[in-house]
Amino acid sequence: MKAEYVDHMGNDLTVVNAARVSFDKHATEFRDKDERLVYYLARNGHFTPFTHAMVTLRETVPIFVARQRFKHTVGFSYNEVSRRYVSDDPEFFMPSEWRLAAAEVKQGSSTNTLDEDSIVPYDVARHVEKSVKLYRQMLSQGVCAEQARMVLPQSMYTSYYVTGSLSAWSRAYTLRAEKTAQREIQDLADSWARIIEPLFPVSWAALTHDEE
């Protein structure tokens, strides 16, 4: 799972000034009292000041992760690579280990993995290879890219720009970094934090429930 920094707007002071504009106040320097205000806003659910700070990333993930990712719509905007227009050979995600299903839950996985001598990785690799071969054949025979893409597996990587408010990013992170979330999207969420935290250190800590 990969997330790359593209752009951002604002900083911790943006949040403070958005909150204090109701008193017609504006600060040019972030001070200790401003940090206390940021924590107060986050702790009491005053989310609108955090919507004025924005972050844009480019994420590259397999389709089955992207479809989970795109469930986060409020506060986000997406533009994705389209295989209606792109017909080069795709790349595919292959996990380093295959987790077993968890017996006590309807979704998710356990900490147990397939035996090393399992033929599953081999079969999956063969399936992907055959799918790509069929995809190439369809294109070579004149089938349009927007239909030929239907044979490609969900393990295919896709890439997209995603722009969201700081409030939206923290909400998505809280849900997807949680220990019961799918492991692959947990990894993606961790990469969000590594990028966003240095940009908004006080606000990110407050929104992700670190103690002041």
Instruction: Work out whether strand 109-113 and strand 157-165 pair parallel, antiparallel, or are unpaired.
Output: unpaired
Q: Which of 126, 171, 176, 194 is catalytic?
A: 176
- Single-letter amino acid, residue 152: L
Q: Which residues contact 176 (CB under 8 A, 6 or more apart)?
A: 68, 185, 186, 188, 189
Task: Let me know if 176 is a catalytic residue.
Answer: yes
On whether the CB atoms of residues 65 and 184 are closer than 8 A, the answer is: yes
What residue ranges in 1-133 does DSSP mark as E strands? 2-9, 54-62, 76-80, 99-101, 109-113
How far is 129 from 136, CA to CA, in rounded Å? 11
Residues with a known catalytic role = 176
